[in-house]
Amino acid sequence: MIAVIDYKAGNLTSVVKALHYLGAETLVTQDPNVVRKASKIVLPGVGHFQATQLLADLGITSAVREAVAGGTLFLGVCVGLQWLFEGSTEAPETAGLGHFAGRCERFPATHNGAELKSPHVGWNSLEGIREDSRLLRGVANGGYVYYTHSWRAPLVSATASVTEYGGAFTGVVERDNVMGVQFHPEKSSTVGLQVLKNFVEL
C-alpha cells in the first residue's frame, strides 16, 4: 500500500489517479501511524513551502524519518522534493526533512544578462540522467517533463538528473530508497508515467 500524504497543499487527485491507473493501491492520509506502516510513501506538493510545516505539526515528519530509516520507499513531488532538503528561502522558518544537504532558492531575476521569467512553467528536458537511477529506468536523456515552480533545489551528489533553466538545478534526486522529482509526473505524459511506474514496481 502506498501512503499518499495529505498536507492540504498537495496535488492529490491527479497523483492518486495516475497511481491507480498503474494498478497501485493507495491510501490518502494524515495519520503518522499509517505512514510508518506503508510499503511506500508519496508526498505530492504544490504551492508554498510553508504548507509543509503541517507535516511536523502532525508528527508526519518524524514518521517519515522512521520509515525511510527502515528502508521504506519515498517519493516527493515538486514541493515534496524540496521538502527533502534542509529548507527553502520561500519560508526560511520552516524546516525541511534534511535528508539532503542544502536549501532551495528562488530562480534569479536574470540569467546571462536577460530577464528570466518566474515561475518556470512548461515542458523542459531531463539531462545527465544517472545510469544507476532506478526511478528513471527507461527514461532517455532529453526526455520532456512538465514543470511549474518558482523555487529550485541545488545540485547535490544525489542528483539523478538535471534541468536547465536560469542555470542547472536538480530535476530528480535519488539516494537509495529516497527519491524526489521537481516536475509533475502525473502531468508529464509518457515520461511521467514511466517514472511513476518505476516507483510502483520497485
Mean pLDDT estimate for the chain: 96
Whether pLDDT at 10 is above 80 = no
Q: Which of 189, 20, 167, 153 lies closest to 80, judged by CA?
A: 153
pLDDT band, very low/low/confident/very high, at 61 (cuts 50, 70, 90): very high
User: Is 104 designated active site?
Assistant: no
Please indicate whether residue 184 is annotated as part of the active site: yes
CB 172: neighbour CB atoms within 10 A? 28
Confidence of residue 126 (pLDDT cuts 50, 70, 90): very high
Whether 186 is catalytic:
yes
Catalytic residue among 78, 90, 120, 174: 78
pLDDT value of position 33:
97
How big is the CA angle at 201 (ends 35 and 24), to the nearest 5 degrees? 60
**pLDDT at residue 11 tops 90:** no
18-30 average pLDDT score: 96
Mean pLDDT of 118-146: 97
Please state which architecture CATH assigns to domain 2-201.
3-Layer(aba) Sandwich (3.40)
pLDDT class for 9, splitting at 50, 70, 90?
confident
Q: What is the pLDDT of residue 82?
A: 98
| Choice among 99, 120, 149, 184 that is catalytic | 184
Alpha-carbon gap, residue 139 to 145, rounded angstroms: 11
Q: Which of 20, 25, 186, 201 is catalytic?
A: 186
